[in-house]
Amino acid sequence: AQSVTQLGSHVSVSEGALVLLRCNYSSSVPPYLFWYVQYPNQGLQLLLKYTSAATLVKGINGFEAEFKKSETSFHLTKPSAHMSDAAEYFCAVSDGANFGNEKLTFGTGTRLTIIP
Amino acid sequence: EAGVTQFPSHSVIEKGQTVTLRCDPISGHDNLYWYRRVMGKEIKFLLHFVKESKQDESGMPNNRFLAERTGGTYSTLKVQPAELEDSGVYFCASSQEAGRGKYNEQFFGPGTRLTVL
């Protein structure tokens, strides 16, 4: 079984400040890990993914995440927040060995607010 | 290229009524997934189609939910009869076969917001 915990359902940061959204996972098999973003009235958009290659993953819009197996974490960061980053962010995990049924297990989401 | 589309975007129904949600995947995508997010909670997997076959329906909450994908193109998710706890946002996602041993990225639709009164 797999699970994801996102610490902080709401996070506020000032424009230009560091963004850090936390994600911890639990998985009995090698995981694939993802961050998705949902802007208002839109679908989920993939920000970045870890699929057992480099542990530091770079995504779109300046975001990156680091897979730390020892800490079972996959925290999302961005050095400098922009107003357009305001959205809801979801961390997800899938079974990295189960090609053909890559159903995702999501966290409860973190709503990011950017303070001007 | 058109993305995943879902219809309707919003649906408000009375308890006991029937509702049918539709998902049109990206053309050529064999994999189709349904997920649901109940307010304030995590997005949960419902089921997975490969073409017209149900690969995994372990997340379907009960037999009031019926999913179909006739012809392996679009899919419908019917709730009959609807209950209050069925309210939430229903997402559809699709992916193509990326090749042996490769991850098949899922592309999500905008969701259908279902409200049962």
pLDDT for A24 beyond 70: yes
Among B40, B43, B56, the residue with its CB nearest the CB of A101 is B56
The C-alpha atoms of residue B97 and residue B17 are separated, in whole angstroms, by 37
Q: What are phi and psi of A51, to 5 degrees?
A: -130, 45
Best of B42, B48, B107, B112 to disrupt the A interface (most A CBs within 10 Å) is: B42
**Shortest CA gap B15–chain A (Å):** 25
Per-residue pLDDT band for A97 (boundaries 50, 70, 90) equals low
Instruction: Write the secondary structure of chain A as one string of H (helix), E (strand) and C (coil).
Output: CEEEECCCCEEEEECCCCEEECCEEEECCCEEEEEEEECCCCCEEEEEEECCCCCEEECHHHCEEEEEHHHCEEEEEECCCCHHHCEEEEEEEEECCCCCCCCCEECCCEEEEEEC
Per-residue pLDDT band for A64 (boundaries 50, 70, 90) equals very high
As a whole number, mean pLDDT of residues A85-111 equals 87
Residue-wise pLDDT tens digits, A3-19: 999 999 999 999 999 99
The structure tokens 């639990």 sit at A26
As a whole number, mean pLDDT of residues A54-67 equals 94
Residue percentage of chain B with pLDDT more than 70: 95
The C-alpha atoms of residue A40 and residue B84 are separated, in whole angstroms, by 24
Looking at chain B, which residue has its C-alpha nearest residue A34?
Answer: B105
Asked if B56's CB is within 8 angstroms of A103's CB, the reply is yes
The C-alpha atoms of residue B80 and residue A32 are separated, in whole angstroms, by 35
Interface of A with B (CB under 8 A): 4, 32, 36, 41-46, 49, 51, 90, 92, 96, 99-109
Asked if B55's CB is within 8 angstroms of A36's CB, the reply is no
- Nearest Cα to Cα of residue A105 among B78, B73, B37, B70: B37
Contacts of B42 in chain A (CB under 8 A): 4, 106-109
Per-residue pLDDT band for A102 (boundaries 50, 70, 90) equals confident
**Shortest CA gap A6–chain B (Å):** 10
Best of B9, B44, B108, B112 to disrupt the A interface (most A CBs within 10 Å) is: B108
Q: What is the pLDDT of residue A54?
A: 86
